[in-house]
Copies of this chain bind each other. A is one copy, B any other.
Amino acid sequence: MTATATTRPVLINGTWRDADVASTFQATDPNSNTKLEAEFPVSSWKDCDEALDAAADAARQLRKLPAAKIAEFLERYADRIDDAKDALVEAAFSETGLGKSPRLADVELPRTSNQLRAAAAACRTGNWCMPTIDTKAGIRSMYEQLGPVCVFGPNNFPFAFGSVSGGDFAAAIAAGNPVIGKANSSHPETTRLFAEQAIEALKETGLPLATVQLIYRTSHADGEKLVSDHRVGATGYTGSRGAGLTLKAAADKAGKPIYLELSSVNPVVITPGALAERFDDIVGEFATSVLMGTGQFCTNPGLVLLVKDANSEKFVSEVAEKFSSSAAGTLLSPAVAKSLSSSVTKLTEFGAKVVTGGGEPESGRCAYSNTLLTASAQDFLSNPEGFQTEAFGNASLIVTADSVKQLCEVIANLEGNLTGCIYSAASGDEDTYDSVAFELTPKVGRILNDKMPTGVAVSAAMNHGGPYPATGHPGFTAVGVPGSLLRFAKLTSFDNVRASRLPVVLQDKNPTGETWRLVDGTWTTSDLG
């Protein structure tokens, strides 16, 4: 099958060309729940195979380039993204329904370009490589390029987690790897516009043109083949648990690292003391956190744990009031609306009660009522797996326990999550905090105090990760430098390697004068000797 004249081209080996088309698809404008005009190709294996060959070749070329060249590309690309803001925002609004401003134009876009710049800075200094020197043993080690990285971006951050613009992309490139981006099917045009900027930036900075490639969709079988291909170094995937676990099984079998960000209900514990002390503030913070972006954040607080008292009941009713009096935002796609509705139905079948919201998705646009559900801890404990069904979107479940002890029992039955929050009183709550934190911390990647989990700072100390099934590995973060880069790297020791043959970052002279290196147990920016 060949592409029709209106089918968008793929970007393979530096050229925008017609895809080898298995079929085509169109994205939906969730604002009107109607199909958008542009047709996108579902690529056959031939496209993947050519992209893999080109990426393998680009990887070889990238290994010969100084890190500063890669940094230049990331910076130039960042500037181009800033310049192309209007078109990107327009496309993303049509494809995702996310607010143009502030969300897309003033929050997500600058975050995206700044993330690329942060990755560039790490690349430039080589700090992310963790250069380690043992002068006595004559051994030096560092993290370095792993090989071509496949990036499967999610639906909910068309810019900041985009397949050819987001965190995984920036990390993979900064670690010296070419990227094969698999666009999220709900915003292919947005992704294409990014790739247009990327290829121009590659040309401007003299990098191999196959450093960034883009396909839009493949068959499931080809997706599995892609992540397990011998030419691939690793894969970054953010999305649904089902598809993610299928890819994981394929990659695991081939011994290829795959970093997954799957699902998370992000438990929020609010102690009776905290509710008594800051009731209104907490109601407000929680409702804002759930409804912001129509609840479509990886770290959306989908599960609240309370201890039963007068305030806990009042909390439910006041949150319900906030939910019902707020307009329901637009959801990313018909699939998201359908999945949200289906998750709410499942939760009620397990025994959760709908306090407000529920029902069927709207028809004129992709939307669903702001939904609050409740259950007792006893209910939860009778079916922990069921009650942890993720309701991705503007919905949350409040579980009320009879005691702190029972609340801890609920926590002990939680799966791995990205985040866990504990709200407690300014004083007098330390015993409760200790009990709760002791159970909750091992279950989550990030533990927060008195703060909702939405909002993931790009910080060296950030862990946007967590134990399975929140992610595929408890030791890695998808956000923050250098952590996010280390996923796409191999560790290499240079044992008795002659001085002139060492990578620049491991030579006696500190390559930048400001690169941190662990020399004989001491972190230093000095030259050796």
Residues of A at the B interface (CB closer than 8 Å) are: 60, 63, 132-134, 137, 139-141, 143, 145-147, 248-249, 252-257, 416, 419, 433, 437-438, 441-442, 444-451, 457, 459-463, 465, 467-469, 472-477, 483, 486-487, 489-498, 501, 516, 518, 521-524
A492 vs B63: C-alpha distance in the bound complex, in angstroms? 32
**Which among B438, B447, B483 is the interface contact of A494 at CB below 8 angstroms?**
B447
A487 vs B446: C-alpha distance in the bound complex, in angstroms? 19
Minimum CB distance partner of A260 in chain B: B255
A437 vs B495: C-alpha distance in the bound complex, in angstroms? 13
Q: Are A495 and B442 in contact (CB under 8 A)?
A: no
Q: Are A468 and B255 in contact (CB under 8 A)?
A: yes
A444 vs B144: C-alpha distance in the bound complex, in angstroms? 12
Residue of A60, A141, A487 most packed against chain B (CB within 10 A): A141
A444 vs B491: C-alpha distance in the bound complex, in angstroms? 9
Total identical chains: 2
Tell me which residues across on chain B come within 8 A of A492, comparing CB atoms.
441, 444-447, 463
List the 10 shortest-distance A-B pairs measured between CB atoms, nearest first: A255-B468, A523-B523, A463-B493, A474-B490, A252-B252, A446-B493, A139-B461, A134-B461, A141-B461, A134-B459
Tell me which residues across on chain B come within 8 A of A477, comparing CB atoms.
491, 493
A472 vs B524: C-alpha distance in the bound complex, in angstroms? 32
A150 vs B468: C-alpha distance in the bound complex, in angstroms? 18
A68 vs B16: C-alpha distance in the bound complex, in angstroms? 60
Q: Are A449 and B523 in contact (CB under 8 A)?
A: no
**Which among B257, B441, B463 is the interface contact of A475 at CB below 8 angstroms?**
B257
Knowing A134-B460, A253-B249, A442-B490, the reply to whether A498 touches B449 (Cβ < 8 A) is: yes
How close is A526's CB to chain B, nearest CB, in angstroms? 12
How close is A132's CB to chain B, nearest CB, in angstroms? 5
Minimum CB distance partner of A453 in chain B: B495
Q: Are A256 and B468 in contact (CB under 8 A)?
A: yes
Tell me which residues across on chain B come within 8 A of A465, comparing CB atoms.
491
Q: Are B475 and A139 in contact (CB under 8 A)?
A: no
Knowing A248-B252, A451-B496, A491-B483, the reply to whether A137 touches B461 (Cβ < 8 A) is: yes
Tell me which residues across on chain B come within 8 A of A491, comparing CB atoms.
445, 463, 465, 474-477, 483
How close is A322's CB to chain B, nearest CB, in angstroms? 23
**Which among B141, B253, B438 is the interface contact of A463 at CB below 8 angstroms?**
B141
Minimum CB distance partner of A488 in chain B: B475
Minimum CB distance partner of A516 in chain B: B523
Minimum CB distance partner of A446 in chain B: B493
Q: Are B463 and A518 in contact (CB under 8 A)?
A: no
